[in-house]
A and B are shown apart, each in its own frame.
Chain A
Amino acid sequence: MSSQIKKISETEVAIDAARNGSPLPYRQLNALIHEMHDEGFEVIHVKNVYGQRFICAGMEGNTTVNIYGTPGNDLGVFMEGPTINVYGSAEDQAGNTMNGGKIIIHGNAWDVTGLAARGGSIFVKGNGGYRIGIHMKEYKSKRPVIVYGGVAKEFFGEYMAGGLLMALGLEEDKGRWRDNTEHPVVGESLATGIHGGVIFIRGRVDVKSLGVGATISEITSKDKRILDTAIQEFCKHFGAPEHLIYQKQFTKIMAGSARPFAGFYSSNPI
């Protein structure tokens, strides 16, 4: 197994996720990553990743994990602390039930990204699929952030209970950024069942695409600061021009009530 590992320095190590041209099974690869993490390496490069699931599952600490290739589903699931840079695209459920840390994806990240995340941040340069950022929550200092540079599909922010979720509707081609004019920024049933947190969509949002319990609301000066911070970080990661992003107004979506189902039930004794 040591043939897969190449020590670069006292703090940096590289793992080859493929052997003789075929991908290592996820359990073997993840065992190696955890082993390097336990040995105290601060930077772990994982090369030739090809769909292996559960990378950095439940990992704690401040390690940086750089992934080259396409990590499989559940990247960073239950994670609390590490920073993951993906030089490629992620599959489904990146940052599932994440508690802290950072995932930066230099490509697309498809369905259910950041499911039930309670902390940390996920920045995606490209597009997403269905049910992005659903059931995120926040608690005290923990406030999850998900920013998509591109567009996403239906049920964006469903069941949302906390945190910040954004989609910018941009696309990049050979270093040039422009608006994606082919697809709406997000699909129908936007924020359905939302009872906490806030969503910012770049551009106008049709009221008809809002889901149950979601309302469009005024952007306050506090919101503006939150937006600016998120946009700055997005541009820092992916080199997008800030002025282009600000060419369009943002729409803020939040819950009409923190108690969407009050009055739905009858508690009287029978």
Chain B
Amino acid sequence: MHVRLKTAPRFKVRISREVCRHCERCTVNCTFGVLSHNGTEIVAEHDKCVACQRCAIMCPQQAISIIPGDIHYAPHSTFNERQRMIIYEQASSGGVLLSGMGTDLPYMSIFDDLLLDACQVTNPSIDPLREPVETLTYIGRKPKSLRVSQVNGSFIVEKETFPHVVLQTPITVGHMSLGSISYPAMTAILRACKEVGIMAGTGEGGLHPDFYQYGDHVNSEVASGRFGVEPKYLKNVAALEIKIGQGAKPGHGGHLPGEKVNKLIAETRMIPVGTDALSPYPHHDIYSIEDLQQLIGALKEASRYKVPVGVKIAAVHNSAPIASGIVRAGADFVTLDGFKGGTGASPRVIRDHAGIPIETAVASVDQRLREEGIRHQASIIAGGGIRYAADILKIIALGADAVMLGQAVLIAMGCRACQQCHRGLCPWGIATQEPNLVSRLDTDISTQRLVNLFKAWTEEIKEILGALGIDSIESLVGNRDRLRYIGPNPKIAEILDVKHVGE
């Protein structure tokens, strides 16, 4: 039973009475029930505000500002404001707290403690605007060796060939399902991937029939609920990926509440309208590496060995031996999702407190696979808190082949990171299925914004590669000598196998 306690609001919506024209546009735009018109003026229920900025941005008079709550909590370092609010809320509801996006806690960033090298004097840098610098990335198994023989005067390269996904730039879009995000958001992502020549994940929600046209740029996810998994979903796509874990909620399943399962979502997931879509915590056919090998085998058989099959895991304490098992089980790529990764809905306690940083996970997995001589058997895709081009370069230098983006993609489309994705009320039309909210997101504009972002980051990648004197991104993979550590903890540098600055 709910027992609510009146508490101090996090934010305050301040409306300038002098300039407000009472047009009520803000009350229409607010999806969280904060603003209303009481007959004489706009009034706000401050405790409902999440600082999504929709009202302030849409106000034609710019009469609205959102400020931090000004009823201060008495300072206390142990029971800080956040801790107290968590206790108030759970004492009110008795529920498991949910949240969206990645953790907002101020964990340190290892990326920010790494510096890139650059060429001076002895090895010349390259001007990427005038000389070729390659960002082409192949995802999939590579042959261990090439045999070159001469037949009748011409050279023949003999090698085993394996299916690959060819990415024009080492960027992929992670798995966000239609359900967690809206139809126009999904359309924009797939269109942008097609235009830029990269791929996007489906998330565990199947692929809506409208999206089969983007099949060459689709990475179909096979997760524990097996939603939407049908022969078409496995055969007409660029890659298949078994989802074992997600950075924002390692070890946790999925739960799309019945309210979000409307006609569109029902059609994609292939479940009746209004029922809960539960993805079990484990795959019930996977309890060991041997079982994983079996599902990888089943997917390769079902797709007739035409596409690479990957496995996605959350970055956790023992990622390296787990990844080794995954590669030995036959995976063509391993996706590692760091603990800062995003989510449409996760229990806050898991989002904020489980997993490890992507930087350490990639470094240890790459190291382990190289030591075991199996690094060529699988590509590594890294995600979970990748913020900009610098992070992409640093994670590739630590051992990844490509990155997976989620939150950055949503922010590019206009997400304000208010972390309310799980409520289905996204005022920007991204993480919602409400038709009147979905219509707020323009597909064409969002597509262009994503294309712009991917192109800008690709140019920045080329700029840095040029400065490093490297003409192909593949030569940066695991090239840790081009990184130096400037942070406070030498142990981290040791784990990353990166020298300290000055060394």
Contacts and interface: CB of A to CB of B under 8 A. Distances in A.
Interface of A: 26-27, 30, 34, 53-54, 57-60, 73-74, 77-80, 92-93, 96-97, 99, 112, 115-116, 118, 131, 134-135, 137-139, 142, 158-159, 161-162, 193, 195-196, 258-270
Given A139-B271, A259-B258, A270 B85 contact: yes
Nearest to B47: A269
A57 B302 contact: yes
A58 B237 CA distance: 14
Nearest to A116: B226
B89 interface: yes
Give chain B's interface secondary structure class: mixed
A270 B348 contact: yes
Interface string B82-117: 100110011011111111000000000000000000
Interface in B239-288: 255, 257-258, 266, 270-272, 274-276, 278, 280, 284-285
Given A78-B230, A78-B234, A267-B423, A260 B95 contact: no
A30 B257 CA distance: 40
B229 A97 contact: yes
Interface residues of B, number: 53
B163 interface: no
A196 B275 contact: yes
A77 B297 CA distance: 11
B285 A96 contact: yes
Contacts of A99: 230-231
B217 interface: no
Contacts of A80: 230-231
A132 to B, nearest CB: 11
Contact of B302 (A58, A112, A118, A196): A58
B284 A135 contact: yes
Contacts of A137: 227, 270-271
Contact of B304 (A34, A195, A263, A270): A34
B377 interface: no
A77 B230 CA distance: 10
Interface in B130-147: none
B272 A196 contact: yes
Contacts of B299: 78
A149 B94 CA distance: 45
13 contacts: A54-B298, A58-B303, A77-B302, A92-B285, A99-B231, A195-B278, A258-B274, A258-B275, A261-B276, A265-B96, A266-B89, A270-B86, A270-B99
Given A30-B301, A270-B348, 15 more contacts: A26-B301, A57-B298, A77-B298, A135-B226, A135-B280, A137-B227, A158-B284, A161-B275, A195-B276, A258-B274, A259-B257, A267-B98, A268-B89, A270-B89, A270-B99
Contacts of A267: 98, 422-423
B50 interface: yes
B12 interface: no
A261 B278 CA distance: 10
Nearest to A60: B231
Nearest to B235: A58
Contact of A53 (B98, B294, B303): B294
